Amino acid sequence: MSKQTYRVCFCFQRRFKLAASEAPAEIRELFNRYSENGVMSVDHLRRFLIEYQKEEKATLEDAQAIMDGLSELMHLNVFHRRGLHLEAFFKYLFGDRNPPLSPSLGVHHDMTAPLSHYFMYTGHNSYLTGNQLSSDCSDVPIIKALHSGVRVIELDIWPNSTKDDVDVLHGRTLTTPVELIKCLRSVKEHAFAVSEYPVVVTLEDHLTPDLQAKVAEMITQTFGDMLFSPGSECLKEFPSPESLKKRIIISTKPPKEYLKGKEIKGKESDAQEGKDPSDEVAWGKEVPDLRASMDGPDKDDLDDEEDSEDDEDPTLQQTAAPEYKQLIAIHAGKGKGGLTDWLRVDPDKVRRLSLSEPQLEKAVITHGKDIVRFTQRNLLRVYPKGIRFNSSNYNPLMGWMHGAQMVAFNMQGYGRSLWLMHGMFRANGGCGYVKKPDFLLKADSPNEVFDPKVPLPVKTTLKVTVYMGEGWYFDFSHTHFDAYSPPDFYARIGIAGVDADTLMKETKTLEDNWIPNWNEVFEFPLTVPELALLRIEVHEYDMSEKDEFGGQMCLPVSELREGIRAVPLYSRKGEKYQSVKLLMRFEFV
């Protein structure tokens, strides 16, 4: 009899069947090892925390606090006055009090180094509610991003329809605008809701000097003393996140002149940080083929977000608003020439450079070490290519492994790339700033600069045991995965990191079980564990259709707690499920 026929025959008997969650054999063995006569005392529990969970600083008070918390949840028949019974111990291991990252660590990275020493949680087109072409512009996505820890907000600013005020919108598309002042006020109100560390507002500026002056007034009046404004000169070195707590920082290309009467076409229309010219192509607009007149390997670098700072005809120049220029703390711009010139490090000033996703992919082939060297003092922002109309994203590791601080993402979408972004910024207490590994910061000599293309020896091996999962029965409709029987779950476990470390593996599929007990072990040799992210996914196998999604989680390997941990799973959109979690063990061997 086929499985499908079997399901039809027994659907009413088996449809809502749920076996009680039972401790795996290894958990029972552990309990026996750290208990006496079926009871785990406070001292036993402390010893378990130190020896098995690698919590070397665990005290009797810590163990007692765990027991006190469990006593409120457990029935008397599983909680003994002298300690824990097996069921209570299992409840603790599989509970919210035993997460894979330590909640007590909080912000623990050194926050006193220059901004260029940190990866920064960065948004792209932060005002869009959906796709890049026709969605509404709003301050709601900005507020949501700030509450999730994002520290870099991008606003595209354009004259409104009557040319007397400033709107935020994705230019030359059908997106509906939102007033700039509304966005600024929301940034002020929500900037430090979850993190005290600075918020950078990057402006993609398409304004005339009179409107720039109006923006300067808006920014000054809205942010007041919160604004970090060192004046119109370039900084010689970036301040630290610690020194900039609860400050707002403006970053854009300083206006040198306004080209009055200049025909707007192609790349020239992006007066400050315009879009990838592929935007124009997609809309059927005519873009002059400037590449045809260029020579050399850098001719493709016109697909950028910032104009070069070549001098224009002085007869077309008009004085820029000085009050606007003085508000710009982080100067953006490419300078003259091609990629080699863009990446030149100036010992007397620091700046921000923007590269598109395809530009970076090309640049790392020929200038990988130059990019790493540039990012030791300066900021590099990477943004999605123009054809990502559906607000999808790219692999952020390409930017991070080359030291790029601002890997800009569309936060309103979802998908594996965005899960990696969430995973990276779960580190360091979720404050939105993650200190770059030391090897990306070494600047003693040119030969010491990290080269991501050079293979490295294995530094450590992460051993992952996937015991079991539970919670789908409570968080999903009982017919969500299969109308006639319990689901057939399998887990995918892997690493996202440098090329040598990137790998995905898969458990067996367990049929007809709401509480799958895989009990499988995987090992991942890591050459650069500092940049590695642990990827976890659960899917439900479907023979005839696409497999159903059952949850995901991404964790920074550098902050994983060793031992047995309860790993909560999240939806595709990054929202935490109420009940779904996996019981896993992490070891470094």
Residues 528, 542 contacting (CB under 8 angstroms): no
Annotation marks residue 124 as catalytic = yes
Annotation marks residue 147 as catalytic = no
In the chain, the N- to C-terminal Cα span, in Å, equals 46
For residues 307 and 290, give the distance between their C-alpha atoms in angstroms, rounded to a whole number.
13
> 535: exposed, middle or buried (C-beta count within 10 Å: 0-12, 13-18, 19+)?
buried
SS3 202: strand
> 337: exposed, middle or buried (C-beta count within 10 Å: 0-12, 13-18, 19+)?
middle
Of the listed 124, 367, 422, 539, which one is catalytic? 124
State the DSSP code for 291. G
Query: Which two tokens mark 378?
Result: 């300066």
337 Cβ contact list (under 8 Å, min separation 6): 298, 308
Of the listed 44, 109, 170, 422, which one is catalytic? 170
225 Cβ contact list (under 8 Å, min separation 6): none
For residues 422 and 224, give the distance between their C-alpha atoms in angstroms, rounded to a whole number.
31
Helix axes 140-147, 180-190, angle to 10 degrees: 20
44 Cβ contact list (under 8 Å, min separation 6): 34, 35, 36, 83
Query: Which two tokens mark 502?
Result: 């990137």
Within a 13 Å sphere around the CA of 419, how many CA atoms are in the beta-carbon half? 22
For residues 291 and 301, give the distance between their C-alpha atoms in angstroms, rounded to a whole number.
9
| Catalytic residue IDs | 124, 170
